[in-house]
Amino acid sequence: MKRKYVYLYLLGLLLFSVACTGNFRDYNTDLSGITDDDLIIDDNGYGIRLGIIQQGIYFNYDFGKGKNWPFQLIQNLNADMFGGYMHDGKPLNGGSHNSDYNMQDGWNSAMWTHMYSYIFPQIYQSENATRNTHPALFGITKILKVEAMHRVTDYYGPIIYKNFANAEKHYRPDKQKDVYYEFFNELDSAVVALTGYIEEKPEFNGFARFDILLDGKYPSWVKFANSLRLRLAMRIASVAPDKARAEIQKIKENDYGFFEAETGGAVVSTKSGYTNPLGELNRVWNETYMSANMESILVGYNDPRLGIYFEHCTDETLKGQYRGIRQGTCFAHSHYSGLSKLFVKQSTDAPLMTASEVWFLRAEAALRGWTDEDEETCYQNGVTTSFHQWGIYGVEDYLQSERKASDFIDTYDEENNIEARCKVSPKWNRLDDKETKLEKIITQKWIAMFPEGCEAWAEQRRTGYPRLFPVRFNHSRNGCIDTEIMVRRLNFPGTLQTEDPEQYSALVEALGGNDHGGTRLWWDTGNNNLE
């Protein structure tokens, strides 16, 4: 049997064999039915596991129940909306659901359930299989582990990480601080393994045929590790500045650099056979539309990315316009079905990290005085790189623009109208105070990261930027989520309370607060601490 067909056969078998358990006591068992001997046939096994992990970060693989509905629950009905990017045009659940903080446990538990049932077990197996024999693949596994699991902790806070599949430690969860510190240790291990292997075998690229995020070259994975380290360092900038600076110093001492060019970054490639789940939600299900926040900022800025990110309204009365939907209006009609849908198709690559994001991270690090770079230069490079990523040129006029966000005028209900919250323009002003400069940096980063809602939501919570519209109606339980402060996290899966109360109690204890959407995470201080 030819190599590629062996790979495809085993990949299909593995994907269809994995099953949800919902119980940490079972997570140390590989449910695929494939032995380690099976996995090394024609040297494909390592790539099979790593392929699942790469697809699973931006969740889309078929495990016998359909490909795209998990992504909708994992990301689109929470992070994509809470981050200010999108809103469903249909009146789900009678119009009251996550949008108005009537938090839906069946939706919000999906990130936890699917990552722990399908992705983390493959990470665990890949670590064990490569640790002593395949240093480069071990390093890549570590990077993917951090990329996948930081999304989980940024949803919930404490997670089971260091003690995953460890019955002797009773699968004890880690506080978010400890998880983040372990992320940095994991990246240390990854960089050591990869750089050592590159020095030993500089021309070898054995992972290339399995790589669906980068270009198959090991130095690019070190760049990914450095860029990811910078993202996580800035995430803890307000709560652990000394640790953040120390991690940035490690990057300075590494020769491989960051993602910089407009073609750089980590994206899940559809050339591999992967299909973008957001594309199906958008093109087939017709359930992803522009948010009021995107309309306010992009239209107000006259941002040329507007026509690339979104389509014109299909409603004839709104012909040639871009119009969005405000979160938390509890609409129970279909009048918004003719508004602006996303550009995303099933064939659109799914971004996990772009070079423009990295430039904005560098801008913030410079603003805080943690590097010798110029914050304005990094900021302008971030905007320019984002423009070039989409084939847009003539960025100079935009960088001099003093346009502001526009007020939101609802297309159906004037009670939903609201004055613009974002007050900064694209133009950089060296005389602005640090907080205003940070707002400009994060607002532009938010625009540039579209449509990656997980990171957008995390950064909006961390910094408060961009300034998003509050929900019109707040139906959170007992008012646990503040209308202006907005939702801060997702609650742990409700099933844990009944199926594993010991585990649930340990998680709540590690959280150090009430298990609801109003409790701040460790890195979410409510203060950017710029001085």
All structural domains of the chain, each given as residue ranges with its CATH number in brackets, are 3-72+108-260 (1.25.40.390)
CA distance 170 to 176: 18
State the pLDDT confidence band at 23, using cuts at 50, 70 and 90: low
Residue type, 301: Y
Residue in 214, 219, 231, 230 with CA at minimum distance from that of residue 190: 219
What pLDDT score was predicted for residue 44?
A: 66
What pLDDT score was predicted for residue 169?
A: 86
Percent of the chain with pLDDT over 90: 83
pLDDT digits (tens, 9 = 90+) for 80-115: 999 999 999 999 888 999 999 999 999 999 999 999
What pLDDT score was predicted for residue 59?
A: 86
State the pLDDT confidence band at 6, using cuts at 50, 70 and 90: very low
SS3 112: helix
State the pLDDT confidence band at 496, using cuts at 50, 70 and 90: very high
Indicate the pTM of the whole model. 0.93
State the pLDDT confidence band at 39, using cuts at 50, 70 and 90: low
pLDDT digits (tens, 9 = 90+) for 139-187: 999 999 999 999 999 999 999 999 999 888 889 999 999 999 999 999 9
CA distance 233 to 339: 38
pLDDT digits (tens, 9 = 90+) for 436-454: 999 999 999 999 999 999 9
Which whole number is the average pLDDT over 351-356?
A: 97
Q: Is 22 left (phi over 0), alpha (psi -120 to 50) or beta?
A: left
pLDDT digits (tens, 9 = 90+) for 196-206: 999 999 888 88
State the pLDDT confidence band at 531, using cuts at 50, 70 and 90: confident
Q: How many CB atoms lie within 10 A of CB 291?
A: 24
Place of tokens 């119980």: 23
- DSSP class of 256: S
Q: Is the pLDDT of residue 43 over 70?
A: no
Q: Is the pLDDT of residue 394 over 50?
A: yes
Q: Is the pLDDT of residue 312 over 80?
A: yes
Q: And the tokens for 74?
A: 């994992």
Contact 120, 149 (CB under 8 A): yes
